[in-house]
Chain A
Amino acid sequence: MDLILIANIIACLGALGGFIFGAIKFFRPKKSIYALMITLFCGVTVFTRLYQIIRVIVIGELVDRVNLGVIGFIGSLLFLFTANFGVMDKIGDDGAKSLRKYRLIPLAMPAAVLAAYLVFFFFTDLTTLIKVVAGSIAFFVCLSSYYNLKHLILPDVKNGIIDCMRQYNLFALIYEILCIIELITMTRGLAIGTIIICSLMGIVSPLTIISVARGVKKWKA
C-alpha cells in the first residue's frame, strides 16, 4: 500500500478519536465555545485526511496540483487560531503594559516558522506551486503558533483558566511544528519520515482535546 496513504490513515484515525471524544464531551448546549473550536479542529483534520486518502485512492496524486487538502489544513489551523485569538486571549491579556514581553517573546515562533519556510521551501528548487502551498500553510501555522506559545508562557493572574490550558497549548504547538515537518518530508518524498510525523500527529491531535477537557475540569474544580 502507498506509504503516504498509510500516513494519512494513521493521522485520520488519531484525529477521529479526538473528534469523537470532543463531540461526546462538548457538543451540548452551554458548553465551552473554546473546547468546541478545538473539537472542530479535530473534525476538520479528520475530513482533510479523509479527503487526502480518497484523493490518493481515486485520483492517485496528492501534490501535483492544488487540492482541497491544503484548504482543509488551513481550516484546521484556523480553528486553533480562532480558539485562542477569539475566545481565550482577552481573558489572559487585558492589554496591560506589564504583559508586553509576553506579547513579544511568542513572536519567536512565527519567526522560526518563517525561517524554516525560507530555508526548506522558498530558497530551494521546488516548484512554485509547492512554494505557494507551503507558504500559505506556514502563514497559518505562524498565526496559531503565536497564540499557543503566548498562552503557554503568559502568567495567569486573574482567572486561572490560562494555567489550566497550558498543557493544551503545548500539544497544539507540537502539532503545528509537526505540520511544518510533514510538509518538508512530504515534498521531498521522504515516505518513512512522513509516516513517523503523521503517526505523531495522530497521537498529538486527540491529546489536544483531551488536555482541553482536563483543563476545563481542573478549572471548574
Chain B
Amino acid sequence: MESLEYILFICIAVPLLMMIPLLKGRSRQLLGFTLIGILICLFTSELNSLLLPLFDNDIVYMTTVVTPVIEELSKMIPILLFALLFDNKLDTLFVLGLALGIGFGFFENTLVLVQNISNVSITWALIRGFATALMHGICTLSVGLGISFVRKKRKLFYPGLFALLTYTSVYHGIFNMLQVRYQYVGLILPIITYIPLVILQVVIAKKAKNNEPDNTPEPPIFE
C-alpha cells in the first residue's frame, strides 16, 4: 500500500492526460491546469510527509502553519509561469487558477478518502466537497486575479506576489485551523468567499454583454 498515492494518481491522471490532445483552446488549458493541480497535490503530499519529522511530528502545527505556505507556494508557481510566459489577462488567469485549485482539491479529497476509508461519511464528503476543494480553488483563483494586476508593472510584481502568497497562506491556515476543532464553521469560510466571487463574475459578464467595450483612457494612477 506504500505507493497508493501513485496508483491513484496514475488512475486519475492518465485518462485526463489522454484527453488533452483531443481538446482545443480554453478546454485544453482548463484540463491541463486541472492535471497540474493534481500533480502538485501529489508533490506536496510527499513533501509534507518528508517535512513532518522536522516539526516533531506535530500534525496540528504542520497543518496550520507549514502546509498552507508549501501548498500555496506550489500552486502559485504554474499560474505565475503561465502569466509570465503566455498570457496575463484577468479572465484567463481567473479560470485557470480556479481549475488548478479544484484539481488540487479533487486529488487531495481522493487521497484523504482512501487513507481514512473506514471513517468517511456523507457529512465528511459534503465538508470536503463544499469546503476543502472550494478553498483550494478560491486560493489559486485569488492568486490568478492578483497576478493579472501585479504583472502590469515591474515594481508592483515582486512585493505584490509575496503579498498574494501571504494572503492565500493565511486564508488556507485559517481554514485548516478550523478543521482542527470547528469543522462546520470551516465549511462557511470558503462559501462566504465563493458567493461574492460568483456575484462579481456574473456582474462583470452582464456588463460586458450589455455595454460596448470601454476604450476611454485611464488617468495616471489608474492602471
Contact = CB atoms under 8 A, between A and B. Distances in A.
B61 A65 contact: yes
A54 interface: yes
B139 to A, nearest CB: 11
B169 interface: yes
Nearest to B182: A58
B221 A75 contact: no
A51 B153 contact: no
Nearest to B167: A44
A40 B156 contact: no
Interface stretch (B27-35, B129-137, B171-179): B171-179
Contacts of B162: 74-75, 78
Contact of A50 (B157, B174, B196, B207): B174
B163 interface: yes
Interface stretch (A25-33, A103-111, A122-130, A184-192): A25-33
B184 to A, nearest CB: 14
A138 to B, nearest CB: 17
B212 to A, nearest CB: 14
Contacts of B196: 23
Contact of B221 (A34, A40, A54): A34
Nearest to A89: B155
A30 B159 contact: no
Given A50-B174, A51-B173, A68-B68, A88 B155 contact: no
A55 B214 CA distance: 46
B-side interface size class: 35 or more
Contact of B64 (A68, A81, A220): A68
B221 to A, nearest CB: 5
A75 B170 contact: yes
Nearest to B216: A30
A72 interface: yes
B93 to A, nearest CB: 15
Nearest to B164: A75
Contact of B178 (A30, A48, A58, A86): A58
B163 A47 contact: no
Contacts of A57: 181
Interface of B: 60-61, 64-65, 68-69, 149-150, 152-153, 155-157, 159-160, 162-163, 165-167, 169-171, 173-174, 177-178, 180-182, 196, 200, 204, 207, 214, 218-223
A-B CB proximity, top 4 nearest = A75-B166, A86-B156, A78-B163, A68-B173
